[in-house]
């Protein structure tokens, strides 16, 4: 097989511009010329071109492909293992992003619309769920954590609704200059906590360090809400313990 650059580009379903770029960087350089002094692509270039495409499909950049094709001692078995790990990690991240988008779109369908700020807050909350689980793992049982940050889609939807309610209410409370100890704030906070699918005493247990629990909340929620909500929770906890005579 001996083809000029135009015919070779058509044969391998690429562009002349791509082939010239490969030649410029020394990745695929034609080794022969015809009687018209035109550069000719042979079977050797065809084989090398498909090897380049193969390595590109494994997500390798061109400069690295060039290095590996030029190094006869390079271990392609080792490269496959490394690239597999990288691609699996990328797949997990893509799946996580797609899952986040699905959950946000479900909320949008229910509420009709969300502000850019609300969308960013909710997306960050979803994105950081694994980090939240690690924080909660220091203080709560696995069953409790799975209830607070569930894995199943149906339970995640309920969690997202609750997060949306919490964010919306406390943003409005701050905007309307309500105080953390006000009746409206305390009533809403108590209702939200009671909606959590975990034993209430795990939140009210006086044997747990309250500051640690508030620290968890602060790590999860937006900065502008942590101080307000932290104080509201402190008031609610104190009221609960006083009501029990503790």
**Can you give the pLDDT at residue 146?**
81
Query: CA–CA distance from 71 to each of 50, 64, 65, 105 (Å)?
Result: 17, 11, 10, 49
The span from the CA of 102 to the CA of 27, in Å, is 42
The span from the CA of 78 to the CA of 84, in Å, is 10
**Can you give the pLDDT at residue 9?**
95
Q: Which two tokens stand for residue 232?
A: 């509201």
The span from the CA of 209 to the CA of 14, in Å, is 65
125 burial (CB, 10 Å; 0-12 / 13-18 / 19+) is buried
**Can you give the pLDDT at residue 207?**
44
**Can you give the pLDDT at residue 40?**
94
Contact between 40 and 3 under an 8 Å Cβ cutoff? The reply is: yes
Q: What is the distance, to the nearest Å, from the Cα of residue 43 to the centroid of all Cα atoms in its chain?
A: 44
- Using alpha carbons, select from 209, 203, 101, 84 the residue that is nearest to residue 156: 101
At the topology level, CATH places domain 2-74 in: Multidrug-efflux Transporter Regulator; Chain: A; Domain 2 (1.10.1660)
Q: Which two tokens stand for residue 127?
A: 């994105």
The span from the CA of 195 to the CA of 193, in Å, is 5
**Can you give the pLDDT at residue 53?**
92
Q: Which two tokens stand for residue 51?
A: 């090897």
CA angle 154, 160, 162 (to 5 degrees): 110
Q: In what order do the strands lie in the sheet with 39-42?
A: 2-3, 39-42, 32-33
- Given the structure tokens 């390595």, which residue do they identify? 55
CA atoms 164, 219, 203, 159: torsion sign: positive
Kind and range of the H or E element at 40?
A: strand 39-42
Largest CA distance in the chain: 102
- pTM for the whole thing? 0.55
170-199 per-position pLDDT tens digit? 888 988 999 999 999 999 888 887 777 666
Sketch the domain layout of the chain as residue ranges: 2-74, 92-243
Q: Which residues of the chain have pLDDT under 70?
A: 139, 197-224, 241, 243-246
How is 73-97 classified by DSSP, letter by letter?
A: T--HHHHHHHHHHHHHHHHHHHHHH
The span from the CA of 205 to the CA of 207, in Å, is 5
How is 188-239 classified by DSSP, letter by letter?
A: HHHHHHHHSSS-THHHH-TTS-HHHHHHHHHHHS-HHHHHHHHHHHHHHHHH
């Amino acid at each position: 097989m001996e083809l000029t650059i135009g015919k070779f580009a058509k044969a391998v379903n690429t562009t002349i511009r791509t082939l010239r770029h490969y030649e410029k960087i020394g990745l695929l350089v034609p080794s022969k010329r015809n009687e018209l002094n035109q550069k000719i692509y042979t079977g050797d270039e065809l084989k090398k071109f498909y090897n380049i495409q193969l390595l590109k499909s494994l997500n390798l950049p061109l400069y690295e492909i060039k290095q590996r094709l030029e190094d006869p001692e390079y271990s392609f078995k080792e490269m496959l293992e490394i690239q597999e790990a990288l691609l699996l990690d990328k797949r997990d991240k893509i799946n996580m992003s797609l899952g986040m988008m699905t959950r946000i779109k479900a909320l949008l369908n229910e509420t009709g619309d969300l502000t850019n700020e609300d969308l960013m807050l909710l997306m960050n909350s979803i994105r950081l769920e694994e980090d939240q689980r690690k924080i909660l793992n220091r203080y709560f049982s696995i069953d409790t954590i799975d209830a607070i940050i569930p894995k199943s889609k149906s339970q995640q939807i309920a969690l997202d609704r609750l997060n949306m309610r919490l964010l919306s209410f406390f943003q409005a409370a701050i905007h309307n200059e309500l105080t953390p100890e006000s009746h409206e704030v305390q009533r809403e906070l108590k209702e939200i906590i009671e909606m959590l699918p975990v034993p209430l005493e795990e939140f009210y247990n006086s044997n747990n360090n309250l500051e640690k629990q508030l620290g968890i909340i602060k790590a999860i929620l937006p900065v502008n809400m942590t101080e307000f909500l932290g104080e509201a929770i402190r008031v609610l906890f104190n009221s609960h313990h006083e009501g029990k005579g503790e």
